[in-house]
Amino acid sequence: MIPFLDLKAQYATIKPEIDAAIQGVLDSCQFTLGSAVASFEEDFASYCGTRHAIGVNSGTSALHLALLAAGIGAGDEVITVPFTFVATVSAIHYSGARTVLVDIDPQTFNIDPDRIEAAITERTQAIIPVHLYGQPADMDPILEIARRRGVMVIEDACQAHGAEYRGRRVGSMADIGCFSFYPGKNLGAYGEAGMAVTNVDRHARTIRMLRDWGAEQKYRHELKGYNYRMEGIQGAVLRVKLTHLEAWTAARRAHAARYDELFSGSAIATPQASPDVRHVYHIYAIRTRQRQLWQDALTAKGIHTGIHYPVPVHLLPAYADLGYKRGDFPHSERAADEVLSLPMYAELAPQQCVEVVEAIRELDEATKSAGR
Ligand SMILES: Cc1ncc(COP(=O)(O)O)c(C=O)c1O
């Protein structure tokens, strides 16, 4: 059996450190925010190369508060992509703004900068590029358009901890960067957690207030805030895990290189990493028109895969009110029909990569000889 992800294998490698960190929170009884969260914030800000990091209870909350800190609300428009996890668009909805979608570049699965300007109106206040699968979006043209047109940029870095674009860490390039520490992420909590990072002091202050009921001083609520605090146990766990992240990222990149090499010479469409990025392979997705057939056959062999994501946001019933229809974003729609995420986690063994690729190459041969 080859799982898609193996959190137990990871825990086994760091158990004593994690157990001690959790025990420390139990001893201190600092269950929300507190010193473990503050220390993790400091470490994560320095990891991202930003002045500030503000711990919250999910990546969705980080995006929501980033939008509010940017002053975005009803009557405004925010540009993002349909080929993302629904949370990107949900956060825009929570802020009161309207989501305007732009199609992806089919090579990278990220926002196509050449399509952004046509979507900008006098109501546009922000662009949210999503660094999908762990590959940074093409930030320089995005930042240039944003500067020229006077709109903010908020990075959805929820899948891209430690990824780099032309030597810059994700989260540090735009006005605000948002991370998720959902357990399956490259840096995952033992529960829900997220983080907003920024170099702008006033954004940091606003997000810090909004996550904790809009008050800097207890019961002196200056803003209409939220209960979006990070839990102490999550801060403690994440602080330990951050010290391992570079080694885990190196392992993921080695697995991806192994997959690439094992697939070479076949016609199977593998991920395309741009030359000027450090892709951190949260997801390693191949593309196939026979996805359902292949996924079922792999499952039958004990090889577990994922689909990220089967329906682009503009075709989800929940967001039908955005007013888009099938055909509006052909690259996103095709990607949603074809992507298949292969097993990917640091503890994956090289031999397991070989088994996965052999099984897929067999399926590819069978597909070809069946003339499909
Ligand atoms: C691209 C993207 N944006 C936002 C989120 C939301 O993060 P969370 O699940 O921590 O709320 C996620 C992860 O789930 C994500 O993958």
pLDDT in tens, the chain (372 residues): 999 999 999 999 999 999 999 999 999 999 999 999 999 999 999 999 999 999 999 999 999 999 999 999 999 999 999 999 999 999 999 999 999 999 999 999 999 999 999 999 999 999 999 999 999 999 999 999 999 999 999 999 999 999 999 999 999 999 999 999 999 999 999 999 999 999 999 999 999 999 999 999 999 999 999 999 999 999 999 999 999 999 999 999 999 999 999 999 999 999 999 999 999 999 999 999 999 999 999 999 999 999 999 999 999 999 999 999 999 999 999 999 999 999 999 999 999 999 999 999 999 999 888 877
- pLDDT of 368: 86
Give distance in angstroms: CA of 156 to centre of ligand 1: 8
- pLDDT of 371: 79
**pTM of the model as a whole:** 0.98
Give distance in angstroms: CA of 85 to centre of ligand 1: 6
- pLDDT of 372: 74
Backbone torsions φ then ψ of 181, nearest 5 degrees: -115, 35
CA 81 to chain centre: 13
How far is it between the farthest Cα atoms of the chain? Answer: 71
Q: What's the order of all strands across the beta sheet hosting 52-56?
A: 52-56, 194-198, 176-180, 152-156, 124-127, 77-80, 98-101
Burial class (CB in 10 A: 0-12, 13-18, 19+), 194: buried
Specify whether the CB–CB gap between 89 and 63 falls below 8 A: no
Give distance in angstroms: CA of 264 to centre of ligand 1: 32
Per-residue burial over 48-79, b if 16 or more Cβ lie within 10 Å, else e, is bebebbbbbbbbbbbbbbbbbbbebeeebbbb
**CA 82, CA 269: separation in Å to the nearest integer?**
21
Question: Which residue reads 């220390």 in tokens?
Answer: 39
CA-nearest residue, atom 8 of ligand 1: 59
**CA 69, CA 76: separation in Å to the nearest integer?**
14
CA 356 to chain centre: 24
Pocket lining: 57 vs ligand 1, CB cutoff 6 Å? no
- pLDDT of 63: 99
- pLDDT of 370: 86
